[in-house]
Amino acid sequence: MNTTEEVATKLAEYCRKSEWRKALDDLYANDIVSVEAHAMENMPAEMRGIDQVRGKTDWWEKNMEVHSANVTGPFVARDTFVVGFDIDVTEKASGKRMQLSEVGIYKVKDGKVAHEEFLPLAQKKQ
Amino acid sequence: MNTTEEVATKLAEYCRKSEWRKALDDLYANDIVSVEAHAMENMPAEMRGIDQVRGKTDWWEKNMEVHSANVTGPFVARDTFVVGFDIDVTEKASGKRMQLSEVGIYKVKDGKVAHEEFLPLAQKKQ
């Protein structure tokens, strides 16, 4: 069974190669809970189960053109790890280009990712 | 009462100025729980209460010479935020210079930091 650090290292490697689907197949629990900061379009902020999370990945790949992705980490302790993402992306429908910066907090149970939560960089107030 | 984002933004500002003590006085709950990845010297990994956490800050300032500190974030969602730290530091007793890279995961309750947990960057395997 993979340790937290092994799961974390593999996940960061998949993310660096933009192999999101392989990450899901290899590292995620069937009862994964995935929490975004906000609901998007028709997707609730919280999704449950590997099928819903695969759907989110499909939506992302279909709707977003990724120009570059910088992945930091993993940072690991006990059952928890953190990975950072800086993504330069264009929303295909609108043509809007965005620089997304966020971190994911992941919880590992029985050698699989059982919970993930994404936190966006706070906007600077002037 | 401060929101999670307000607490997060203030904490990151204090950390950027190395004002660790002000951060504790202003933003931390009296019953703070602070968890390091590993026990250090005579300090357990988990500390409870503002006095123990002040003691940790005193130990750090007494034993470490900080050459530079780069703080990233905060990343914020719901009751949780993450701040990243890259610290170039010399342990005064040994003269050993180290580059520490870690993230803190913070939980906010009633407008104060009630739980913090630190996760070091995983070491690269060759």
- pLDDT for B71-120, tens place per residue? 999 999 999 999 999 999 999 999 999 999 999 999 999 999 999 999 99
Rounded to an integer, what distance in angstroms lies between the CA atom of residue A43 and that of residue A39? 6
Q: Do A75 and B117 touch (CB under 8 A)?
A: no
What 3-state DSSP class applies to B2?
A: coil
Return the CATH number at B71: 3.10.450.50
Of A80, A105, A122, the CB nearest to B74: A122
Taking the CA atoms of residue B39, residue B43, residue B45 and residue B48 in that order, the dihedral angle to the nearest 10 degrees is: 180
Cα A57 from Cα A24, distance rounded (Å):
9
* The pLDDT of residue A9 is above 70: yes
DSSP class of residue A40 equals B
What confidence score (pLDDT) does residue A97 get?
97
A69 in any annotated domain: yes
- Name chain A contacts of B9, Cβ cutoff 8 Å: 122, 125
Task: Compute the distance between CA of residue A13 and CA of residue A10 in angstroms, rounded to an integer.
Answer: 5
Distance CA A21, CA A5 (A): 20
The answer to the question of residue B126 being in a domain is no
Nearest-CA distance from B90 to chain A in Å? 22
Residue pairs between chains A and B whose CB atoms are closer than 8 Å: 78
Looking from the CA of A1 toward its CB, the CA atoms found within 13 Å total: 10
- The tokens of A48 are what? 């449950």
Beta carbons of A23 and A112 less than 8 angstroms apart: no
Q: How far is B119 from chain A (nearest CA, A)?
A: 5
What pLDDT is attached to residue B110? 97
Q: How far apart are CA A62 and CA B6, in angstroms?
A: 35
Give the residue from B48, B54, B5, B47 showing the smallest Cα distance to B25.
B54
Instruction: Return the closest-CA partner of residue A122 out of B98, B63, B100, B106.
Output: B106
By C-alpha distance, which of B92, B98, B97 is closest to B120?
Answer: B98
Cβ(B60)–Cβ(B20) under 8 Å?
Answer: yes
Question: Given the DSSP bridges, would you call strands B64-77 and A112-120 parallel, antiparallel or unpaired?
Answer: unpaired
Is B48 part of a structural domain of the chain? Answer: yes
Mean pLDDT, range B19-40, rounded to an integer? 93
Partners of residue A4 in chain B, C-beta under 8 Å: none
Residue A72 within any structural domain of the chain: yes
CB atoms A120 and B77 under 8 Å: yes
pTM of the model: 0.94
Q: Is residue B101 part of a domain?
A: yes
Do B101 and B107 contact (CB within 8 A), yes or no?
no
In a domain, A125, yes or no: no
Q: Give the position of tokens 């947990």.
A: B117
Distance CA A64, CA B108 (A): 33
Count of domains observed in chain B: 1
**Closest residue in chain A to residue B80, using alpha carbons only:** A119
Q: Do A77 and B37 touch (CB under 8 A)?
A: yes
pLDDT at res. A125: 62
pLDDT in tens, A40-78: 777 889 999 999 999 999 998 899 999 999 999 999 999
Q: B75 forms bridges with which residues in the sheet?
A: A121, B82
Inter-chain contact B102–A5, Cβ cutoff 8 Å? no
How far from B98 is each of A15, A75, B38, B102, CA to CA, in Å?
28, 17, 16, 13
Q: Which residue of A has its CA nearest to B121?
A: A75
Q: What is the span of the domain harbouring residue B35?
A: 4-120
Predicted local confidence at residue B3, as pLDDT: 96
Give percent of chain B above pLDDT 70.
Answer: 98
Give the rounded percent of residues in chain A with a pLDDT score beyond 90. 83
- For residue A13, is it within any domain? yes
Average pLDDT over every residue of A116-121: 98
Tokens encoding B108: 């906010």
**Is residue B56 in a domain?**
yes
